[in-house]
Amino acid sequence: MRKPLPDYPGKEALMLSVEYPPGGADPVHRHDAHAFVYVVEGAIVMGVAGGKQVELKAGESFYEAPGDLHTVGRNASGERPAKFVVVLLKDAGKPALMPVP
């Protein structure tokens, strides 16, 4: 779901459902957004540059600031999928995820 935020000109909210397959992971990336993560099923490992990696289980949440470099995003299990929801508060029209080499 994508929703313009008229009280914040040029900004929008974007809600995504993400599923990591067993052993799945994201590449290093950034969002340039406030990112709110909520784990729905399974467990994931998240981390940003300069911070600690955390393992999150269903019902737990994680936050990334607009300047954070997302260095770790992976399924904590090699046997079960993991599902989570991400809400991004970002500049309208900008990509949700930008890979970083």
16-49 residues labelled b (16+ CB within 10 A) or e (exposed): eeeebeeebebeeebbbbbbbbebeebbbbbbbe
Which residues are 48's β-sheet partners? 70
Domain that holds residue 86: 2-99
User: 14-49: per-residue pLDDT in tens?
Assistant: 999 999 999 999 999 999 999 999 999 999 999 999
- What CATH number does the domain containing 9 carry? 2.60.120.10
Distance between CA atoms of 101 and 84, rounded to whole angstroms? 25
Cβ neighbours around 81 below 10 Å, total: 14
Number of domains, the chain: 1
User: 51-87: per-residue pLDDT in tens?
Assistant: 999 999 999 999 999 999 999 999 999 999 999 999 9
Q: What is the pTM of this model?
A: 0.93
